[in-house]
Structure 1
Amino acid sequence: MAFVEVTNVRKLFGGRDTGVVALDEANLAFDEGEFVALLGPSGCGKTTLLKIVSGLLPKTSGSVRVGGKEITGPYPDYGFVFQQASLMPWRTVRENVLFPMEILGKKDKEATMRADELLGLTGLSHFADSRPHELSGGMQQRVSLCRALIHKPKLLLMDEPFGALDEFTRLEMNDLLLKIRDETKASILFVTHSISEAVYLSDRVVIFSRRPARVQLEFKVGLPRVRTQSVRFTPEFTDAERRASEALGILGAH
């Protein structure tokens, strides 16, 4: 049984006759510990699917199961990272990371140790008592990632988390995310508009059609699990980029 199973999911916004179909018979399944990247045109329903998997948004029809359980409300064991860090400016970095534990009523010594461990893993130990405005955009997004991981979720949902960063910082964050995935063993569903990023990060790439979104192509990347930036210059990486580009209509299929 797959860890996440999305079966014939349809999402309609508005009325039956005048509404917008965001997802139409979307199907997706992946195993625990797998990293899956979602690619597709803007507005095709990728973020909608993330929210449905998390239980934050109800589906119109179909089935979503995580860990063998049907999702009918917010799934308790996930972390969500958005494109903007959305940190609370009046809180310190450590306090922002600990916020989910406050909501869960579990802000204790062990949680604080976990927060400090994550800040160390992401290179932010020296900024634990800083305020968000004192950090760069990339550093703020690291804090957001720590916050999503503080309660040790089995599923990490990421919605273009590095889209607003400069290219150099984005590459750094890609490597950091792979390091964190290896440390935490979390399953990751990652939305991006970057073909290169999708191929570099993921075990599997899933490409959506234009709205209403359906899975147009799905393939395993086939690169070594442990990756460095040099893998971008291999024939295997280039071939995976080509396959994704053809499915997106950027290149003509041959």
Structure 2
Amino acid sequence: MAFVEISNVRKVFGSGANQVVALDEACLTFEENEFVALLGPSGCGKTTLLKIVSGLLSRTTGSVRVGGREVAGPYSDYGFVFQTPSLMPWRSVLQNVLFPMEILGKRDAAAQQRAEQLLDLTGLHAFANARPHELSGGMQQRVSLCRALIHKPKLLLMDEPFGALDEFTRLDMNDLLLKIKAETGASVLFVTHSISEAIYLSDKVVVFSRRPARVSEEFRIEIRGPRTQACRFTPEFTEAERRASEALGLLVGSPQED
């Protein structure tokens, strides 16, 4: 049994003449500890699927199971990183990171230690007492990532978290995420519009069609050796970019061009 099983998920918004089909029979699976990127055109339903997997949004039909459990609502063993950090401006960095543990009634010495470890891991220890407005955009998103990881989630859901960052910061955040993934062992479902980002981060890329979204193709990323920025210039990386671009209909003569 796969760790995450998404079977024939359909999501319809509205009714009658105003009905919009956001997802249509979407199916995919992945294993524990895998990193899976959802790649597709803007507005095709990637974020909708992410919210359905998280339990924040109900599905119209279909099934979603995580760890053998049917998703019926938000669970405390998930972590969610949104497009914007959404930090509480009146709280310090450390207080923002610890907030989920307060909600769970588990803010204790162990939680404090965990938060400090995460701040060390993300290079934020010196800013533990700073307020969000004193941080750069990339640093704020690091705080958001720490907050999502504080309760040791089995599944980390990320909705294009680096899309608003400049290219240099985005590359740094990609490397940081790979480091965190290796150290925490969390499974990751990651939404992005960037082909190169999807390939660099993922064990598997899932390409969505235009709305109503279906899975048009999925393929594994086979890159030898550790993921470093240098791997972006390898034949394996280039071939994966070509395959993803073709699946998205970006190349002349590609299947989705018709």
Q: Same fold (TM over 0.5)?
A: yes
Please state how far the C-alpha of 1:131 moved relative to its aligned partner. 0.5
- Is the counterpart of residue 180 in structure 1 residue 183 in structure 2? no
Structure 1 segment 15-54 matched on structure 2, within 5 A: 15=15, 18-54=18-54
1:109 matched residue in structure 2: 109
SS of equivalent residue, structure 2 residue 241: helix
Deviates more, 1:15-24 or 1:178-187: 15-24
1:12 matched residue in structure 2: 12
Which residue identity lines up with residue 46 of structure 1 in the other structure?
K
Structure 1 segment 36-185 matched on structure 2, within 5 A: 36-185=36-185
Which residue identity lines up with residue 144 of structure 1 in the other structure?
S
- TM-score normalised by length of structure 2: 0.97
Deviates more, 1:173-182 or 1:68-77: 68-77
2:195 matched residue in structure 1: 195
- Is the counterpart of residue 212 in structure 1 residue 176 in structure 2? no
Which residue identity lines up with residue 247 of structure 1 in the other structure?
A
Which residue identity lines up with residue 223 of structure 1 in the other structure?
I
The answer for unaligned runs of 5 or more in structure 1 is none
1:224–1:16 Cα change, 3 Å = farther
1:238 matched residue in structure 2: 238
Aligned residues: 254
CA distance, structure 2, for counterparts of residue 46 and residue 162 of structure 1: 15
- TM-score normalised by length of structure 1: 0.98
The answer for unaligned runs of 5 or more in structure 2 is none
SS of equivalent residue, structure 1 residue 217: strand
SS of equivalent residue, structure 2 residue 18: coil
CA distance, structure 2, for counterparts of residue 16 and residue 74 of structure 1: 29
1:58-87 CA distance string (max 9 Å, x none):
000000000001111112211000111110
Deviates more, 1:120-129 or 1:225-234: 225-234
Which residue identity lines up with residue 91 of structure 2 in the other structure?
R
Please state how far the C-alpha of 1:16 moved relative to its aligned partner. 5.2
1:91-122 CA distance string (max 9 Å, x none):
00000000000000001111010000000000
SS of equivalent residue, structure 1 residue 38: strand
Which residue identity lines up with residue 114 of structure 1 in the other structure?
R
1:33–1:16 Cα change, 3 Å = farther
Which residue identity lines up with residue 121 of structure 1 in the other structure?
L
Quote the sequence identity (%). Answer: 76
CA distance, structure 2, for counterparts of residue 83 and residue 67 of structure 1: 26
CA distance, structure 1, for counterparts of residue 183 and residue 126 of structure 2: 21
Runs of 4+ in 1 over 4 A off after TM superposition: none
Please state how far the C-alpha of 1:147 moved relative to its aligned partner. 0.2
CA RMSD after TM alignment:
1.0
1:154-181 CA distance string (max 9 Å, x none):
0000000000000000000000000000
Which residue identity lines up with residue 45 of structure 1 in the other structure?
G
Deviates more, 1:68-77 or 1:100-109: 68-77
1:26-78 CA distance string (max 9 Å, x none):
00100000000000111100000000001110000000000001111112211
CA distance, structure 1, for counterparts of residue 225 and residue 96 of structure 2: 31
Which residue identity lines up with residue 165 of structure 2 in the other structure?
L
CA distance, structure 2, for counterparts of residue 152 and residue 224 of structure 1: 29
CA distance, structure 1, for counterparts of residue 87 and residue 112 of structure 2: 18
